[in-house]
Structure 1
């Protein structure tokens, strides 16, 4: 019935099936950048993160300013009687005054500036945590796009094999020419799917490159398996406790609450006025007339002055009130954040569990049976036992299910990354 031996045709089918199996087994060789390297590059080079890092200088400057004492004041005074007809009389004085901070204001300002710096550093650490999550997610989006591209190439190989079989059957007079044309259309459609998959690869690579802050990933592709790693052994409650201990956003809010207490303490101290002490030297020159003779008399005096505002009306009541409200607000935000973190951990944990169950279903029940069905259907078509539309339908189902399997692999990894970010813990080892 056919010119080509049956075993050769089976060999073509086996080759096409091997391409599809490779598409679900791993990415192509020649890739250079690992997940760990991508995360390191993102943390080092991300433009927005580096801009925020530079703001540390503002906090350091504020801390330096908080520790400085008020500058002393130099006072000079010159008096003359020339304009009033007493040119011989004049006075000159020089003095220095210094303001002294009372109620421990300098120490409290330093403590407040230190807390502001601590809040900033925990905020920076939290931005790095979120950036790691984003880098991992985009990294695996590229891996997913590459695997889908290889799956599309496998679909082309299947249709090429089908086209070869259809040509043989047409030459043998077993099928009409219309059936061969249908196979050609299906082959063209699979090539179009490959073009779309290639566009997805390029787009995901561009997004990853932008996140990494430069061209270091060009022309390299991410490397590594899309398949799930080891199982998470920690219980949900343990991960929540880790999150409470390690989440930098929670630590930032705790520092904010402590900063609020420092602000309140400073505001209360600001209600106590500062003391200003001055030391001055004065020289007075006067003209003395005795028996028609004029003489000059010069005297020197040294004086000490002390001044302090009387806190009769303004005792910094508004500042104390504002600081008290900010402290209470920071405590409320911390309580809400703890609830939010608990929800994040629970959601990520449930998503990971569901993704693993879905993967298990694919591997145990769906994938083996689907591969067997495709093989049997293709062999049946070669023997003329089923129409070509049945093969089209089976191939379509096979490609769709394989795409679903790849999506499930990616979802599992994304759920793992979200759980790591929620617990601020690298579940494969290490701490954010």
Structure 2
């Protein structure tokens, strides 16, 4: 009874954990953010939502508040619990049996059998169980950190996309206002008879095209803003202002980035740790083919009150099963993890080389457009003045103005692609651009 009381005293107790009946409120999200900000580096603690947010601040907010990441981080607790479980030794087993005489001359005694057994096979497998559990815990930690890195990068990519979409919308909106002003003037001139119908129709078509372009970009901005808020884990009514991204002037060599990725990619580290855990499980399965051993003590008495005691040993004879199925499954799983790691290495290298080549191409296109766009805009301003003086045809003016607008939007779109590909390259390498040591 004393042993039973001591055992029950160390038992865990049930505690209810009810599910939420509604999404977290805006106030609770802001409260969580305020509590989490002191954990950040000093340079990012003072996040001001009223001011333009940098890419680093966007990434920090996403890691802190993204709901999927908050749920994923619970897996680390599960992995640590598995390590704890692997380190525990099996409990001893005690059994008691009694035989009560039902007939006789009254000189018979109650027979009993009391035995205490303990399986010592776990003493041989415990180191491998611990090794597998610890390697699995490392794999989970690396995997969670990798997912955090991906979500942070996704938030930065969405923020850059939103910034350049807002810039394109502003360009299209300015063009729509200008063409709208020209069209309204044309309507007045047409009513006075100072303008022909074909010219007025041409100006109206230019205004409609500009307005449609601006509205299409506005829809893209609204969608991109909603996606960013969802990734950040912020309420849908929050307005986020973004600081201009800083585009890189130099692009590192792909071969150097391959070596960096091998050191910094957390998913590769997770796969290596997972492979180590599976290798330990295979060794554990191989040990399972040997006889299982249990030892114990037995105390007994028969109905004539002859009392005995002595040790007992039990073995599991590996005659039919011999753990062969478990061994085969463990070997196949290890082979699959080996192939997965090799495939991930190949895909990482291919992604890095493709992104570097794409960035180099985009850089050349951007440099060319940066030389062309200012000249086209200046020429359009000169033609605008000449058009008011009647020294140039409307067709020539609209053609040049349309080219200037098209090239301006194309430049903004290329800069958006370059900014997004920069973040994609950081994600492929597994570390921020600023940490790369370029020659």
Query: Structure 1 length as normaliser, TM-score?
Result: 0.81
Counterparts of 1:319-334 in structure 2, within 5 Å, are 319-334=326-341
Contact 1:81 1:87 (C-alpha < 8 Å) held by counterparts: no
Q: CA deviation at 1:109?
A: 0.7
Which whole-Å CA distance do the structure 2 matches of 1:348 and 1:182 have between them?
A: 43
Is the counterpart of residue 368 in structure 1 residue 386 in structure 2? Answer: no
Question: Which residue of the partner structure matches residue 173 of structure 2?
Answer: 153
State the structure with more CA Rg.
1
Q: Which runs of 5+ in 1 are unaligned?
A: 1-28, 287-297
Question: Which residue of the partner structure matches residue 295 of structure 1?
Answer: none
Question: Which residue of the partner structure matches residue 218 of structure 2?
Answer: 198
Is the counterpart of residue 112 in structure 1 residue 112 in structure 2? Answer: no
Which whole-Å CA distance do the structure 1 matches of 2:192 and 2:64 have between them?
A: 65
Question: Which residue of the partner structure matches residue 280 of structure 2?
Answer: 262
SS at match of 2:434: coil
Question: Which residue of the partner structure matches residue 429 of structure 2?
Answer: 423
Deviations 1:79-109 (A, max 9, x none): 1222466563321232211111267201111
- What is the number of residues matched between the two proteins? 389
Report the more deviating stretch, 171-180 or 329-338. 171-180
Q: CA deviation at 1:398?
A: 1.7
Is the counterpart of residue 356 in structure 1 residue 363 in structure 2? Answer: yes
Question: Which residue of the partner structure matches residue 266 of structure 2?
Answer: 248
Contact 1:264 1:324 (C-alpha < 8 Å) held by counterparts: yes
Q: CA deviation at 1:171?
A: 9.8
Structure 1 residues 212, 270: closer, same or farther in 2, change over 3 A? same
SS at match of 1:89: coil
- 1:402 aligned residue (400, 404, 408): 408
Q: Which runs of 5+ in 2 are unaligned?
A: 1-48
Is the counterpart of residue 377 in structure 1 residue 383 in structure 2? Answer: yes
Contact 1:139 1:208 (C-alpha < 8 Å) held by counterparts: yes
Q: CA deviation at 1:139?
A: 0.8
Counterparts of 1:141-290 in structure 2, within 5 Å, are 141-159=161-179, 162-163=182-183, 175-176=195-196, 179-180=199-200, 182-184=202-204, 186-187=206-207, 189-215=209-235, 218-226=237-245, 228-232=246-250, 234-284=252-302, 286=304
- 2:419 aligned residue (413, 416, 421): 413
SS at match of 2:433: coil
Contact 1:91 1:285 (C-alpha < 8 Å) held by counterparts: yes
Question: Which residue of the partner structure matches residue 25 of structure 1?
Answer: none
Contact 2:278 2:330 (C-alpha < 8 Å) held by counterparts: yes
Question: Which residue of the partner structure matches residue 25 of structure 2?
Answer: none
Contact 1:102 1:275 (C-alpha < 8 Å) held by counterparts: no
Contact 2:121 2:293 (C-alpha < 8 Å) held by counterparts: yes
- 1:64 aligned residue (70, 84, 88): 84
- 2:308 aligned residue (264, 285, 301): 301
Which whole-Å CA distance do the structure 2 matches of 1:426 and 1:211 have between them?
A: 20
Deviations 1:60-88 (A, max 9, x none): 22222212212211111211222466563
Q: CA deviation at 1:348?
A: 0.8
Is the counterpart of residue 139 in structure 1 residue 139 in structure 2? Answer: no
Structure 1 residues 49, 84: closer, same or farther in 2, change over 3 A? farther
SS at match of 1:303: strand
Contact 2:298 2:309 (C-alpha < 8 Å) held by counterparts: yes
Contact 1:112 1:259 (C-alpha < 8 Å) held by counterparts: yes
SS at match of 2:112: strand
Which whole-Å CA distance do the structure 2 matches of 1:36 and 1:361 have between them?
A: 30
Query: Structure 2 length as normaliser, TM-score?
Result: 0.80
Q: CA deviation at 1:31?
A: 5.1
SS at match of 2:365: helix
Question: Which residue of the partner structure matches residue 41 of structure 1?
Answer: 61
Structure 1 residues 300, 189: closer, same or farther in 2, change over 3 A? same
SS at match of 1:43: helix
Which whole-Å CA distance do the structure 1 matches of 2:267 and 2:147 have between them?
A: 9
Contact 2:159 2:242 (C-alpha < 8 Å) held by counterparts: no
Structure 1 residues 239, 196: closer, same or farther in 2, change over 3 A? same
